[in-house]
Structure 1
Amino acid sequence: MSGFGWAEFARDLPVALGAALGVMLVTFLIALRKGVHRIVDVAWGLGFAAVALVSYAMSTGDGDDGRRVLVTVLTVVWGLRLAVHIGRRGRGHGEDPRYEALLAKAPGNPALYALRTVYLLQGALVWLISLPVLTLWAVMAAPVFPELWAAVSSPDIDTFRFKADPANKGRIMDRGLWSWTRHPNYFGDFCVWWGLFLVVCTDPAVAAATLVSPLVMSFLLTRGSGKALLERHMAGRPGYAEYRARTSGFFPRPPRRS
């Protein structure tokens, strides 16, 4: 590929932003009706799927069709899996304590505060992280990382089976992938977004325009609302200190000996 179409890239940015914010605004209206803001976490994955589908439609007739389909399918499948997983996990529960604490200190109208600080912010992050997907029109069949297609092993099924067994109530999940990393789902998300970056990275200009996306996702997974937040929540659970001492915090490795 010779050169990077900055004009096309700039053209697609507002359309993708509109798709991400559209998903979040619809979710906001549903949340107001239900009186529960935790459903925004379900919309997080759906936002990425929406941006991928819009980007695929805008890139029709350009780029390499095989890679365009690959990136779109990977993103949509990842987004839908995440939405279903979070939806099932939160079914039957009330408001998320994070959003309760946030809205408790809201200045003025809590609903408008939630719209600004939760929904619009998450929509903007979806758009920013999706930058590699927005370059589908520029993705060419070049021999740059052709084998590095994003693959992720999801431990969701093992988790549901573990929780379904009454004997495991109150115990820490430390089986399968959970014995190699305390956060296999987050590590899987990390692999997906770095993998997508490598798939579309057929030109230095593409890399320069989209590198921020996997970097931001990596920060969110390790230092933001992912690993760090969950570990603070789990810190007081019986047996978690021992599990943390023997198990990697993020990148998988064999468990340490006691």
Structure 2
Amino acid sequence: MSTANAYMTIRGIDIDVIYKDIKNLHIGVYPPLGRVRVAAPNRFDDDAVRLAVIKRLPWIRQQRQQFKNAERQSEREMVTGESHYLWGSRYRLKIVDRPGRTHFEVDGDRLVLYTPPGRDSTSLRKALDGWYREQLRHVLPVVIARWEGKLGLSVPKWTIRRMKTKWGSCNRETRHICFNTELAKKHPDCLEYIVVHEMTHYLERGHGARFIKLMDSVMPDWRIRRDQLNAEPLAAEEWSAEERSAS
């Protein structure tokens, strides 16, 4: 059976399309984040698939809303014993009251927070966010340099910030790439996927056939990495599935 893969975005929703030797078009919405996959007959073109998906949008959004309402990681209270994630691994927080600056250290399966007594959870969460940024600042230059060499591209400017709507973003005019602080919680393969995804936008603005071809050529397992990124524990923020997609 011959198949051909395509990737399109419809009303802000990413769609994986597989063309097959079948009679009817099938649309599926899958956990954990409501990714949409379409199996379409070979006789269909992209416009026909797009029209079919648009007609089913109310049902698709209903299914995705159910996944959105699934249990998420609650807001961190910053107390000893709760779970935190770094590079895809879970650590148990241990708080040690000690005079001096607030800082974190990884000790085995523990994330140890040294902090002066009396600091509230809001300030400790802010300190944790800053620590995640430090982890990314340490790792990103190595990952970017590696892929600059592989792709023959240069990244002149990149930054890290909290983003509610994207894992990463790329300004093709200024070549400025921005990475979400939350990536420090995910497996390194996921960070590498976002780096390559955003650098590929230097060559192709959208997510059409050329973008897919470029991604397939430089990172054949990018779909697995993307699904891994979206399947790992979610933060407390109310992010929708499309808001968690890369640009």
The bucket for the TM-score relative to the shorter chain is under 0.3
Between structures 1 and 2, the one with greater helix share: 1
TM-score, length of structure 1 as denominator length: 0.22
> Larger relative contact order (C-alpha < 8 A, sep ≥ 6)?
1
